[in-house]
Every structure is written in C-alpha cells, then in structure tokens.
Chain A
C-alpha cells in the first residue's frame, strides 16, 4: 500500500489531527502529512498535559508521592499504585502480610478488567460502532462500584500503602466480586457475537496495522501490543512479583501482528484476569493487611532501584535513585504507552486514514500517562 501512496501524485497536504479530535481520546496531537486518503508521515506531538510527575517525585516525600500514581494512567491506576509501593517496599525492606498481597492482586486485576472493558468500547467507537461502548460501561460500572466500596475512589485510586493496604476488604466485597465475574462470564459471549465475529469488524482489523516483533523491540513496546506480535512476554510471568507465581494463569499470545491480534489479546486477558481473581479469592488467608513496623518517615538506603509491573497497557517501570533522604534524588517513570506510541510513526506509514486511526485505537493510548 505504501508504494501506491507515494506514487500517486505530489499533491500532499498537512492535516492536524488533534489535540482536540474525537479519535485521539485526549489531547494527543498527530501531525499528518497526507497524500489524499493515505498517510505519508504521522508525527505524534506530545506534551499537552505534561504535569511534571517525575519532578514532583523529586521534591515530595516517598509517601506524599503516592497519590500521583493514581493520576498517571487513570484507567488502571491500581497497577501504578502497586508498582510504586512495591518499589518503596523493596528499597526500605518492608515485608507485606500475605492477605494484603492477595487483596492487591484481586483489586489490581479487577482494575485491569475495567481498563480493558473501557478500551474495548472506545476501540469499537473508533471503528464507528457506538453501541458496544455503553454495554462495556455497564460492566465497568459494576467494577467501579466494587472498588469504590474498598478504596473509596472510583477512578484515581490511592489504596495501597507501604507495607499493605489502606483497609481490609469485607466478605461481601469478595462475594460481590465473584458474582460480578459470573455476570461478566455470561456477557463475554455476547460481546464476541456482537463485535468479534462481526464481518465488518474483521474486515477492518485483520491484516491491518501490522506491528512486527522487530518493531516492538526497536521501540520498546510492551503489553498487549507486544503479545499481539507473537512475543510471549508478561512481567507477571517473566519477572514475577507479589503472589503471581502462586497463581495459575495463561498469557494470551497471538502471532498475526495485526490490530485483530491486539484486540484478541485484550479480550483473552479479561478471561485470564477473571481466572486470577477467582483463584486469589479462593486462596485468600486471614490476617492483618498492614505490616507492623513501617517507619513513619521512610529513608531508604542510598542506591539505584528499579521495579516493574505489568500494567493494563504494558510494562510500567519506576526507577528511583535514593541518596538516603526522605525524598527521591531522581525519579523516572517508564510509561508503557509512551513506547507503544513511539512506533506509530513507523507503523502508520502509507496507511489509509481510517486504518491508521484503527491502529491508534489498538495501541490503547492514555494520554496523561504518556505526557506524565
């Protein structure tokens, strides 16, 4: 297709996609050089909601920086919470009670389902199908209600603490979660019948927007984007943390490298998340949810620390350099969508505008997380 696009004629024009555009899901701006309906070059322009999260980490105490984690990727905030508290626990050598670990996994995986559900709706909306969005929101609403009961927030969670969780979960949260999983299991076939097996959708996604494993490696793409390119890499399996090694789950991998593969990875991940939650609820022990000896003011040993977790959009890593004070000397956040978006310029060359927007949707962008 690309050769076709370049040979047609020389009448090219620039098209400014965003920062206010329905397809960019936020304030991303893409500078497009178009040749008719074909894209010659697509240059993402970032920074419209840069909030200096990294710098904030350098002039706040370790505990004060915790709420910032809910504001990076607001759709799967708990994964970011988890990544940060685990890093600080690693730095300060804090042991976490087992019950707290289970609660963390249950809530994080619930959050991952809600993130994937929202992505599903928004992605089909990008393709012009409006209705699935509201069905997905209906299910997501149940998760938000469950998490609200535990964490007190519906979107920007700040639930985990160094050494455990803010509060214990009640039995009706666990039974409510199981009831929700039962409900979602019965609704997944509906999603597949309505959307996945839709002829128009298959036509729009299959073979469109190829991202090879090479390209993923070049730009550091992770998460469903990488797994849709046939690379079996999931931080939960490859660099296990928390109680994931004790839980039996599969990592969905598709080798087609197209938008449909990324779609399938995320849909299968919803199933796997449900498996994880069920096992965690079956195994959850009694006990405290907070470690006993957590210092009021954390002052980690000087050193260079890195911790990474599998967020809904890929591997989220935090590098913190401590000089022994109560603040970080340097804080660096590795946000997965930033890397995933980096490959957009190369991947979208020569594509049709409509297909390029489908590709962008399949990357599952959350702009506040890219800009930080």
Chain B
C-alpha cells in the first residue's frame, strides 16, 4: 500500500466529509426553517445575514457557548457518550457514499452492508441518551424509538436486498452504474425490467422517513406528548450533536434513495439536454436535495401518527409486502433477467 499518497487523500476526504455533514446539518436547519416559514406564510429567519443565511452560525455559536447541564442522577459517561454516538456513525456512513463515478472516499464492495451497520448504531444513541437522562419522558421516547427502528429496519433491509438482487452488487458505485443512461433505466421505474420498482421505492421512502425519526413518524420526539423526547435533558452541544446527527441521517437517507432508485449521478435526459452533461456529482446533489425537500414538505403538512398505527404499518403492511416484493423480484430476475 502506498501510504504517502493515501494519507493525504484520506485527510482531504476526512475533512471534506466532516465539512459536508456539518455544513448540511447547519444549512438544512436553515432550509427547514425558511421552508416551514414559507409554507406557513411567515418570513422565517431574516435578521442574521442576507435572508438569514448566517442564522446557522449564530445558532451554532449560541449552542457552543451554553453550559452543558447534568441533571441530578444522570449516568454521566453514558449521558456524554450518546450525542457522540448519534453523530459519529453518521459521518462514517458518508465514507462509502459515491457522489459521482470518482468522488467517493472508499469504494467498498460491501458498502451497502456497512451503511446499514452504522445506521443501526444511531438507535443505540437514542436509547442510551434516553436511558441515561433519568427522565420518564426520555425513557418513554427511547422505548418508542427502539420499537420503531426495529420495526422499520426489517422492511428496509428486505427492500435493499431486492435492489441487490436486481443489480447484482452490494457496491454502491456498481448499483448506480447498473442504472446508467436516461431516466427509464432507473430502478424506480418499471421500464427498468422490474415492474415493482415504484412500489419498492415508495416502501423504501416510508421506511427511510421512519428510520430517521421524521414526521409523520417522529414519535421519539413528539413535542406535544413527550416534550422533546430522548433529548429533553440535553443542552448545549449535546443537544446540538443530536440535532446534527438527525439532519445527517436525513441526508444519508436521501443519498441512499438516490443511489438505489434514482440513478445516482446520471442525468435523466443525457441526449435531449447534452450540455448539462450525462453524469456528474451535481446531478446526484440535485436529486438528493429534492428528496430532502420532499421530506421537509411532508413534515410541515401532516399530523403525527400514533405508535400503534406506526407499528401496524410496518408489521402488517410493509414487512409482508416487502417480502412478497422480494419473492416477485427474485422470480423476475430468475426467469426474465
């Protein structure tokens, strides 16, 4: 292994990934606040910088200057560990995400597996944070979050296996490469040979909403029931890290959806609009941010579901249907492809 070049490359990628994750978290908050404001006919942040663009920096400075409060009886080591566990795996996941043909930190053959492995750590963070807080609301919230994530991880994995079956690879770059070409080659559309594509996509999108604890599945932090859920007792950057971790997870969810279903970095119309290029990292970002915007729209439109209907949706609808979907897709791959 040629260490000399690799170290420089690694450092660049490391800084880039952290900057990307943190920048996204900061500016998605701005997008969310501004977007929510326009949905609700308000102005939103506007004082700090033009269009309130410096608001995330002000928020960050405020959070960092605050004292971290440890309420009586908290389990201190775990209490401090939880926010880190929420943020670090999220950053780790970015390592495997290919933004374009060449722009990827580590091109790992089992990238998909690694993403799911690290994504599962997130729920541990919520559980530890809720448990260590010694607050009943936080404990209820942690219990809810665990049952929710367990319920939705299963259909999500099954759907991912479906995609792996179709594309024949667990390498994210290869999954995207198998969708090369105009938009009718993408996994979301039935024209790609798998007529179950749209259903698979919708199920995956619902699962990713639930996995990232976003409305209408934000039971873990249902503010009208559980105040702030698992991070009720967190202040300062403890809260800040949970917050950033949440947004980083939204970015990951959207990026993964883009990779698995929307043809990653490929242009939807490579021939009709040639000057936009046939592929490129910016196509990836456009698709990803459109998905994120959909997530924001959903949050500010729908009320919250209850825990039971959330679990019913997973165990009674998504899991059986994703399994059927897997069988059908396997049949298709066997007999047609």
Q: Residues of A with Cβ closer than 8 Å to B?
A: 13, 15, 21-23, 36-37, 124-131, 134-135, 138, 194, 198, 200-201, 203-204, 352-355, 357
Contacts and interface: CB of A to CB of B under 8 A. Distances in A.
B302 A13 contact: no
Instruction: Name the interface size band of chain B.
Output: 20 to 34
Interface string B281-321: 00000000000000000001111111111000000000000
B305 A23 contact: no
Given A22-B224, A37-B140, A128-B222, A204 B40 contact: no
B39 A22 contact: no
Contacts of A128: 215-216, 218, 222, 224, 302-304
28 contacts: A15-B140, A22-B227, A23-B224, A124-B303, A125-B224, A126-B224, A127-B303, A128-B215, A128-B222, A128-B224, A129-B301, A129-B302, A129-B303, A130-B36, A130-B40, A131-B39, A134-B41, A135-B41, A200-B216, A200-B303, A203-B305, A203-B309, A204-B303, A204-B305, A204-B306, A353-B140, A354-B304, A357-B224
Contacts of B41: 134-135, 138
Contacts of B215: 128
Interface string B10-39: 000000000000000000000000001001
Contacts of A126: 224
B310 to A, nearest CB: 10
A348 to B, nearest CB: 13
The binding surface of chain A is classed by DSSP as: helix
B302 to A, nearest CB: 6
Contacts, number: 74
B62 interface: no
B136 interface: yes
Contact of A357 (B39, B40, B225, B303): B225
Given A21-B227, A127-B224, A131-B39, A354 B303 contact: no
B224 A201 contact: no
A37 B306 CA distance: 11
A354 B307 contact: yes
Contacts of B224: 22-23, 125-128, 357
Contacts of B305: 200, 203-204
A124 B40 CA distance: 14
A131 B40 CA distance: 6
B42 interface: yes
B219 to A, nearest CB: 8
A131 B300 contact: yes
A126 B306 CA distance: 12
A13 B306 contact: no
Contacts of A124: 303
A101 B9 CA distance: 82
Contacts of A21: 227
Interface string B114-154: 00000000000000000000001100100110000000000
B204 to A, nearest CB: 20
A200 B225 contact: no
B223 interface: yes
